[in-house]
Amino acid sequence: MDFLEKLGGKRLLTELVYILRENEPLKAIERMASFGLLRFIHPELELTIGTRNMLEEARRIISWFDLLFLNRAYERWAVYFLALCESLTHDQLWGACTRLAVSEHYREKLFETRRQGEEALVTIEKKIARTGAIEKSEVYFLLKDLPVEVLLYLMAKTGSEEVKKWLSLYFTQLQNVRCFITGHDLKRLQVPPGPLYKDLLDLVLKARLDGRVISREDELELVRHKLKKL
């Protein structure tokens, strides 16, 4: 009857979100695939073995994250949606979001942060594969601007258990690291207002993440040392 051909994107998105909010949406997605319905999300979308494995891994990662009780709100459906569309190019993902009438703000969030996240993932994977190690600060600054949904998607996407451990460490430890000193301390050190504030605080945070400073006095000394060189 071509019913879905006549259905608007917003209604399709609503029904898809209901499915992807389930604890185990894979069965419903398999049923959709058997009826050839995934093409209504995007013509190139198929439920391959790789996509099925991505969805299974996403379910496992989501269960792990929920058990952490981190009190960080996120959209479960968006993690599964990214996993389902993992095989699509960035342009194809944009097309799928447009077809489903995803709001412009959320569409840009999913599109741009997935691109940033995948670039960060490649950087982390290459660094670990090449040197066998990576600094905590590198991981932090690569991931800090990414939403929870994309971070969980990256955990499901990577085939490296070592990289998964680093992403897990970001959630459990790194994202909560803060400096002792603030902009008020920099002002007292007569640092002129401007971009230098951020540069100095990032320098201190990097040192703190990597264990090179421990106390407030360590942080102040690091700033004084840096200021002498400027």
Give per-residue pLDDT as tens, 136-160: 999 999 999 999 999 999 999 999 9
pTM: 0.93
Report how many domains make up the chain: 2
**From the CB of residue 229, how many other CB atoms can be counted at a distance below 10 Å?**
5
Query: pLDDT category, 120, cuts 50, 70, 90?
Result: very high
Give per-residue pLDDT as tens, 177-225: 999 999 999 999 999 989 999 999 999 999 999 999 999 999 999 999 9
Regarding whether 204 and 153 lie in a shared domain, the answer is no
Regarding whether 191 and 93 lie in a shared domain, the answer is no
Regarding whether 102 and 75 lie in a shared domain, the answer is yes
Angle at 193 between CA 214 and CA 201, to 5 degrees: 20
Angle formed by the axes of helices 90-99 and 9-20, nearest 10° = 110
Residues whose CB falls within 8 Å of the CB of residue 170, separated by 6 or more in sequence, listed in order: 139, 140, 143, 151
Range of the domain at 82: 9-176
- pLDDT recorded at residue 70: 87
Rounded Cα gap, residues 46 and 44, in angstroms = 6
CATH code of the domain in which 104 resides: 1.10.3090.10
Rounded Cα gap, residues 183 and 189, in angstroms = 10
Compute, in degrees rounded to 10, the torsion defined by CA atoms 22, 26, 28, 31: 180
Rounded Cα gap, residues 214 and 208, in angstroms = 6
